[in-house]
Amino acid sequence: MFASDCNRHIRIASTPTRLEASTDLVILESIEHTYAGDDYPWEFPVDLTHEAVAMTLHESVHFALNTSDTESLLEWEALPKWPRIVGRTHLGPEHRLFVLVFGHQLHCLWKLQQALLDYDSDQPQASYHHAQHCLNYLRQTLMCDPAHTLEMGDFLSADYEKDRMGDTLVCRDWSKANSVLEEYHKKWLEWRAHWD
């Protein structure tokens, strides 16, 4: 398996890529991907790196860990379903299913929220093994793509009841990614309707 992974890295690193403008997005199309077996791109083939947005970190009344707060429970339930297709997309000539890492990350946040609220339940919504998977998955994906933004001060000594605002980050525009996912999803629904 390790040799196969190395070969895949080498093959993908040397695969020529062409850039094609599409409205205000840059579409990355690999010339040689068949989307069969392990012949697919490592990343969603849409370059969103030039679409930057600012996000100021802050404490929020949203997404509370409170079982009696119906609004927060609805926010948590909606999180992994946003966009509607849960970070899934169909790519290639056969419309093969893929999931973007951020969709899986949002799902894991939701499962950890359930595990925290259900810790003493006889029938938890998130099993121990699912919560353990999510902790490992989030740890590994954060290590894989770390944010290098500097934060002022020491977050360990912050009083989050008084210090409600944090630093401003420069992020990739997730709304653009969601728009593209929705567009791909519509194309897949049209393709599926044709073949049903």
* Segment among 46-50, 98-102, 164-168 with least mean pLDDT: 46-50
Record the pTM.
Answer: 0.74
What's the CA gap between 30 and 20, in Å, rounded? 11
Q: How many residues does the chain have?
A: 196
* Cα-to-chain-centroid distance, residue 59: 21
88 pLDDT more than 80: yes
Average pLDDT over residues 56-73: 89
Residue 194 and residue 186 in contact, taking contact as beta carbons nearer than 8 Å = no
- Tell me what pLDDT residue 190 has: 92
Q: pLDDT digits over 118-150, tens only?
A: 877 777 788 889 999 999 999 999 999 888 888
Give all strands (DSSP E) within 76-189, no chain letters. 88-91, 96-99, 165-172
